Amino acid sequence: MELHELKPARGARRPRKVRGRGSASGLGKTAGRGQKGAKARTGAHDRRGFEGGQMPLLRRLPKIGYFTPPHQKVYAVLNLGALESLGGEIEITPELLKEKRIVRSLPDAGLKILGSGKLTKKLSVAAHAFSASARKAIEAVGGTCRVIPRVSPPPSA
């Protein structure tokens, strides 16, 4: 047997129903749609979650949790107080913080340093973003802030 000799099983293919072509066809007049109503109309279909007029489950359940809009930047945040314990001559990077388990994970947007807490040591900090108060506090004690450019992830297909 060759590919060109393959045929569907007997009864697997049925002719298409021709609708609305006179009463003799068996599907004339209303064309199998019944009398009036939403489903008799052209282009009609139930929207997602429609339960025939009953209050839908999605509206009956309480809304809980937090929703993050899809294009919002989500940073791993770290306050200056947490950097105080990391004094020294080395540059503080997101990778170093993750290695020392000060930051658990780095989301797509990266690491942002916030200005809460006291800073007394001169630090060199590299992060993907800094708040204005954090930048001011780091530079006030003689430290430096370096912004790491973030490479955006490829769009998911």
Count of residues making up the chain: 157
CATH code: domain of residue 95: 3.100.10.10
94 falls within a domain: yes
142 falls within a domain: yes
152 pLDDT tier (thresholds 50, 70, 90): low
The pTM (predicted TM-score) of the whole model is: 0.55
CB burial string 69-89: b at 16+ within 10 A, e below: eeeeeebbebebebbeeeeee
Span 57-76, mean pLDDT?
86
102 falls within a domain: yes
pLDDT given at position 21: 93
14 falls within a domain: no
90 pLDDT tier (thresholds 50, 70, 90): confident
96 falls within a domain: yes
Q: Find the domain containing 138 and state its range.
A: 76-147
Q: Is there a contact between 139 and 146 (Cβ–Cβ < 8 Å)?
A: no
112 falls within a domain: yes
38 falls within a domain: no
Would the pLDDT of 54 be above 60?
yes
pLDDT given at position 35: 92
The mean-pLDDT minimum among 39-43, 71-75, 149-153 falls in 149-153
Count of domains for the chain: 1
152 falls within a domain: no
